[in-house]
Chain A
Amino acid sequence: EIVVTQSPATLSLSPGERATLSCRASQSVTKYLAWYQQKPGQAPRLLIYDASNRATGIPARFSGSGSGTDFTLTISSLEPEDFAIYYCHQRIEWPYTFGQGTKLEIK
């Protein structure tokens, strides 16, 4: 199966700062990578699909880039509601796999 590794495990930043989260796949997933945000007690929320497509209703401060094995989720200027756990997910082949998550916390 494709192993998806996220880094860092925890990212401590302040509101207004830029956040850069990384996701690396153990083999190429071409463009088929998605990003989700999850807050405590809530279901995940799709942010980005197919590497760079923003999902419906997602603010423009969220952007995704990358292809092959290396991907990045960028939040251009952090809002207080952005502090959460972020997961990446590959869907190029079965079994689908998720990264272990990056916790974005307030510094």
Chain B
Amino acid sequence: EVQLVESGGGLVQPGGSLRLSCAASGFTFSRYWMAWVRQAPRRGLEWVASIKHDGTEKNYGDSVKHRFTISRDSAQNSLYLQMDSLRVEDTAVYYCAKVVVPADTGAFDIWGQGTMVAVSS
């Protein structure tokens, strides 16, 4: 079964840091672009970042650029999101997502259950 399981969310103060992890299973992780997408409470979806299947290209949303870092470890079949300088507006459920077609940047066909990040003093 293809599965993504996020972990690492929690409550953090403004200016703090958090590292999210996503464990992938059931597919050849190294063949797919991966992404993080977030959803603030009672809001819509917001793309956060994407990383190429081989890790050589990374792209970020404007609201997180220079604060968040996406990375992956194919040996561990894991995706990560290092979040620094966190702001109240970063409060959201963070989803890990897999792209539908190998080596393509495309749409997201598999999503994790999400991990909640709350930024508050």
- Could you tell me which A residues sit within 8 Å of B by CB distance? 1, 32, 34, 36, 38, 43-46, 49-50, 55-56, 87, 89, 91, 94-101
Contacts and interface: CB of A to CB of B under 8 A. Distances in A.
A43 B113 contact: yes
Label chain B's interface by main secondary structure. strand
Residue of A36, A43, A89, A98 ringed by the most chain B CB atoms within 10 A? A43
Contacts of B112: 43
Given A32-B106, A87-B44, A99-B44, A94 B59 contact: yes
By size class, the interface of chain B is 20 to 34
Interface of B: 35, 37, 44-47, 50, 59-62, 95, 100, 105-109, 111-114
Label chain A's interface by main secondary structure. loop
A50 B106 contact: yes
B111 A44 contact: yes
Nearest to B6: A43
Contacts of A36: 45, 108
A99 B106 CA distance: 16
Nearest to B33: A91
